[in-house]
Structure 1
Amino acid sequence: MAKKIKDTDYLVISARVKAMETGLLTRERMEQILEAKTDEEAAKILQECGYGELDAADPEAMDAALSAAREGTLSDVMDGAPEPRYIELFKLKYDYHNVKALLKAEAMGTSADRMLMDMGRVSTAVLKEAVRSGELDSLPPMLASAVAEAREILDTTRDPQLSDIALDRWTYADMAALAEEVNSDFLRGYVAVQIDAANLRALVRTVRMGKSPEFLRGVLMEGGEVAADAILTLSANRGSGMNEVYGPTRFAAAAEAGAEALRGGPLTEFEKLCDDAVGDYLAGAQYVPFGEAPLVGYLAARETEYTNLRILLMGRGAGLPADVIRSRLRASYV
């Protein structure tokens, strides 16, 4: 286990993060963008907030601009972070996303280029060649093992869903390993709450699809606060009792929305509340004066901001009513 860096080593970067938080898009700012009379007016507000041109009429260009903003944020804090591996937490998920895209494209005999996101620890060019050649030594060890297992599953079963499930497991295992390497309780908690969100989503989706508890057993991740056995019991009961199991947790509202989704309601609100529960955990970083928590919390808040901007701008571009767009925005702690 790595030697734990002292909280006081984060005094400088924590102070800087607190200052940078003032640049996060507030709910009021997002409301101004939402209610802007014209796209030009919305663009002007975004420019005042430090964003370049974000045009919903060109989703690829918009995603590229948001990716550039994300990379700029990570680079901005990298040099001042006593433990740069915290930055990896916000990169490694893109490695696994890219592996999913590459393996599916390979199985279908198509190109994955349009689905790749060059925001991971490993460049898409290096990852693409490693997957193509099967020479995985250039990849981080856990990622290499994930590629090998996912490919074997896909080759054996021809089922991309099972391959994706394996890669999701490796994603959270990689995050958990990183939390152990840097010896961070806050990061351990962040990984656990994400696993709880993933397991609750899996429960609701599989019950809606009529899948058995045995199928769900193969999907559930270990490491969350809600025990897998309790979730499997809920599955056997077709979701009955969710409010009792999740009521004492930060997922109470999400579980209530999940129960409604099982009665035929939409999944949109349920998905949003799962994300909001993860955000609720991160919001606690605001009250920590220094340490790794403010850094991780700020970077996660930026991730939520990019998600909200995409929801907001794509919704405006599609002509959705303001109330519909507003209901889909994820909670932010500013």
Structure 2
Amino acid sequence: MPKKIRDTDYLAVSARIRAMETGLLTDGQMEQILTAQTDEEAVKLLRENGYPTMSLKSPETMDAAISAAREETLHDLQDSVPDENYLDIFRLKYDYHNVKAVLKAQAVGADPDRMLVELGRVPAAELKAALTAGELDRLPATLAAAAREAKETLDATRDPQLSDLALDRWQFRDETETAERSGSEFLQGYVRARIDAANLRALVRTLRMGKTAAFLRGALVPGGTVGEAGLLTAAENGGAGLAELYGSTELAAAAQAGADALGGGPLTEFEKLCDDAVSGYLAGAGLIAFGEAPLVSYLAAREREYTNVRILLMGRAAKLAPEVIRARLRT
């Protein structure tokens, strides 16, 4: 049985969250980083806002610095959160990333260490050791089942894309189970919003690649508000009716951009609007004084900030025009 959530259980952490929210980068600060005259100035601005020192000449150090900031956020809240499930929602995707990295490396006889991320529920070295030894019972049950299916798929098909799709489905199943254990309707709604965005992306990408509805069926994740039948029908019709299918949801604008992209337009705006729609679901948390909603919203806002910082830094490193970078930032 999921535990009963009481808003009063979150009084202390809600007060902390409201204080920590003042440390989020503002649009103005993002613009300063974007338009800084030198890379050194951009890095200085980030350092003044709590990020480690990094070099824009090295993608590895940029990623390491962002990962360190992300880990510090989760660590800061570790002892304040009454229910670990809220942090696990934001950790478990790294477990699945690490499984993907290890399985692919094993398939080609390579070392996955440089691809592993130390942000999941399971230490990366322990996860690698369990997969290498075939001792999957050492992993959390859902993750173990996911790794087993993904490995069997990769062994049978030699197609890493199909293996990744299996892991993506299991990841969302894991997120759904984690949210249900928390007993929070708000957290469960957040996962459903993410599933809807993932399924819309799967539909548009399937059609852009010229794949069939049968391929899409293997990529869809159960648990969203838009049913599988409607998505498969849209795929069979080449995307016709896509905008109408999502017309009453937060993803309406993203679906229209996806329909436009199926006509040959770029995917950049579509991808951005998918992420923005999930942010739209979280927007109402700002009106809630205390409870789990402000916590989930803050953690998601931090994730969005880390994504935007990476877009800014990678864009600067690639010498992209400011307007191009600006258009890619999530809101």
In the superposition, the TM-score normalised over structure 1's length comes to 0.97
| 8 Å Cα contact 2:39-2:56 kept in structure 1 | no
Provide the residue aligned with 2:255 in structure 1.
255
* Alignment pair present for 1:243 and 2:254: no
Tell me how far apart the structure 2 counterparts of residues 126 and 115 of structure 1 sit (CA, whole Å): 15
Query: Match of 2:162?
Result: 162
Distance 1:157 1:317 in 2: 38
Structure 2 matches for 1:41-80, cutoff 5 A? 41-80=41-80
Q: Which residue does 1:148 correspond to in 2?
A: 148
Give the CA deviation at 1:95: 0.4
Matched pairs, number: 331
Please give the secondary structure, in 1, of the residue aligned with 2:240: coil
What is the alpha-carbon distance in structure 2 between the residues aligned to residue 52 and residue 154 of structure 1? 38
Q: Give CA-to-partner distance per residue, 1:107-127, whole Å, 9 cap, x none.
A: 111111121111101111101
> What is the CA-CA distance between 1:44 and the residue it aligns to?
2.3
1:288 is matched with: 288
Percent identity among equivalent residues? Answer: 63
Aligned to 2:181: 181
* Aligned 8 A contact 2:56 2:317 in 1: yes
Alpha-carbon shift at residue 318 of structure 1 (Å): 1.1
Q: Secondary structure at the match of 1:161?
A: helix
Which residue identity does 1:100 align to in structure 2? K
Choose 140-149 or 1-10, whichever is displaced more: 1-10
Which residue in 1 is equivalent to 2:214? 214
Secondary structure in structure 2 of the residue aligned to 1:289: coil
- Residue deviations 1:39-93, cap 9 Å, x none? 2222222122122223221111111111111111001011111112211111100
For residues 74 and 330 of structure 1, the distance between their equivalents in structure 2, rounded to whole angstroms, comes to 21
Does the aligned pair in 1 maintain the 2:85–2:179 contact within 8 Å? Answer: no
Q: Which amino acid aligns with 1:25?
A: L
Q: Is the 8 A contact 2:154 2:160 kept in 1?
A: yes
Letter in 2 for 1:15: A
Counterparts in 2 of 1:182-197, with a 5 A limit? 182-197=182-197
TM-score by length of 2: 0.98
Gaps of 5+ in 2: none
In the alignment, is residue 268 of structure 1 matched against residue 268 of structure 2?
yes
Aligned equivalents of 1:163 and 1:243: distance in 2? Answer: 30
Matched with 1:172 is 172
Cα separation, 1, equivalents of 2:172 and 2:258? 23
Determine the C-alpha separation between the residues in 1 that align with 2:75 and 2:255.
37
Deviation, 1:328, is: 0.4
Aligned to 2:114: 114
Q: Which residue of 2 aligns with 1:91?
A: 91
Letter matched to residue 96 of structure 1:
Y
Whether 1:307 and 2:307 are equivalent positions in the alignment is yes
Counterparts of 2:84 and 2:135, CA distance in 1: 27
Q: Which residue of 1 aligns with 2:316?
A: 316
Contact 2:5 2:184 in 1 (8 A): no
For 1:2 and 1:216, locate their aligned partners in 2 and report how far apart those are by CA, in whole Å.
32
1:46 is paired with a residue whose SS is helix
- State the match for 2:7 in structure 1: 7
**Aligned counterparts of 2:48 and 2:284: Cα–Cα separation in 1:** 28
Q: Which residue in the other structure is 1:102 paired with?
A: 102
1:131 Cα deviation from its structure 2 partner:
0.6
Counterparts of 2:109 and 2:267, CA distance in 1: 32
Deviation at 1:37, TM superposition (A): 1.1
Q: After TM superposition, where is structure 1 displaced by more than 3 Å over at least 4 residues in a row?
A: none
What is the RMSD computed on CA atoms of the aligned residues?
Answer: 1.0
Larger mean CA deviation between 240-249 and 14-23 belongs to: 240-249
CA contact (8 A) 2:254 2:270 kept: yes
SS for the counterpart of 2:90 is coil
Q: What SS does structure 1 have at the residue aligned with 2:229?
A: helix
Between stretches 47-56 and 61-70, larger displacement belongs to: 47-56
Q: CA separation in 1, counterparts of 2:52 and 2:213?
A: 47
Distance 1:35 1:45 in 2: 11
1 CA distance for matches of 2:283 and 2:317? 30
In structure 2, distance between residues paired with 1:285 and 1:55: 35
Aligned match of 1:329 = 329
Distance in 1 between the 2:26 and 2:309 partners? 12
Q: Could you say what secondary structure the match of 2:222 adopts?
A: coil
The SS at the match of 1:65 is: helix
Q: Deviation digits for residues 260-306 of structure 1, max 9, x if unmatched? A: 11010111111111011111112221111111111111011111111
